[in-house]
Amino acid sequence: MSAEKTSTPKSGDADGAARPGRRTPLIVAAVAIVAAIGVTAAVGLGGDGDKAPGAGPGSVAVVSGGSDSTKAATVLDRPFTKPDLVLTDTEGKPYDLRERTKGKPTLIYFGYTHCPDVCPMTMSNIAIAMKKLPPADQEKLQVVFVTTDPERDTPASLAKWLPAAGDASFTGLTGDFSTIQAGARQIGIGIDPPKKLPGNKVVSMHGAQVVAFSPTTDQGYVLYGEDTSIDDYAKDLPKLIKGENP
């Protein structure tokens, strides 16, 4: 895992806070290790309270080991149940994640708008790859961005940031931090509250994985890391939209 970094405040930042550097993904590193060595193992965040619904005893998800370590996707033998989250969308209206994305191919990502690198890059990569799809498939795909910094990421700020970083069709959600944190934990992603340090610096840490949910089962069965490229998404999205393994 990389160390958390902070930088000095940049001029023009409305809140005067430093923009954190590359964050430490908080999902257990075993995901990457398992994908690399091609074995099956349990992946989680720790104790029983961190288990995702639908996962077996003592595990959050089981990663399916494969011989092809060049693939960006990590397919789960035991997929995640979609988080039971009701948050606030960019129009200030309640958004029931399960209900609104039911039966639709869905990508969920937890991040924040003050992120200087991984978050906007991830949204941009998905948006560019999505544009390569036929219009009908573009309409089917749901991309949900859930903020890990709800104090600063208001509905209005998400509404402004998402079209610039990704696409106007992406859904931005905010709400109570504890609710967001619990929802992230349900799919094996850890997030910490943003920490304010002396000198107006802000440290924020969160898992940087994209979780893909099948339109046929509404289960989260594929993980993508922060290094997933536009080409990786472009190759996999047609299959994800059909609920197939990439």
| pLDDT band per the 50, 70, 90 thresholds, residue 68 | low
pLDDT per residue over 70-129, tens digit each? Answer: 789 999 999 999 999 999 999 999 999 999 999 999 999 999 998 889 999 999 999 999
H/E element, 17: none
Average pLDDT of the residues in 16-44: 35
Strand partners, 191: 206
User: How confident is residue 197, by pLDDT bands cut at 50, 70 and 90?
Assistant: confident
Coil, strand or helix at 197? strand
Task: Indicate if the pLDDT at residue 205 is higher than 90.
Answer: no
Is the pLDDT at 64 greater than 50, yes or no? no
Answer whether 217's CB lies under 8 Å from 243's CB. Answer: yes
Q: At what angle do helices 230-242 and 118-130 cross, to 10 degrees?
A: 60
Given pLDDT bands bounded at 50, 70 and 90, which one contains residue 202? confident
Mean pLDDT of the chain: 78
Terminal CA-CA length for the chain:
26
- 3-class state of residue 34 by DSSP: helix
Write down the pLDDT at residue 69. 60
User: Which residues lie closer than 8 Å to 177 by C-beta, 6 or more apart?
Assistant: 150, 151, 193
Based on DSSP, count helices (H) and strands (E) in the chain, helices before strands.
7, 12
Lowest mean pLDDT among 27-36, 137-146, 171-180, 224-233: 27-36
CB–CB of 149/111 below 8 Å?
Answer: no
pLDDT digits (tens, 9 = 90+) for 209-219: 999 999 999 99
Q: Which two tokens stand for residue 21?
A: 């550097």
Q: Which of these ranges, 50-59, 113-122, 159-168, 181-190, has the smallest mean pLDDT?
A: 50-59
Task: Kindly report the number of other CB atoms within 10 A of residue 37's CB atom.
Answer: 10
Question: CA 86 to CA 174: how far, in whole Å?
Answer: 10
For the entire predicted model, the pTM comes to 0.75
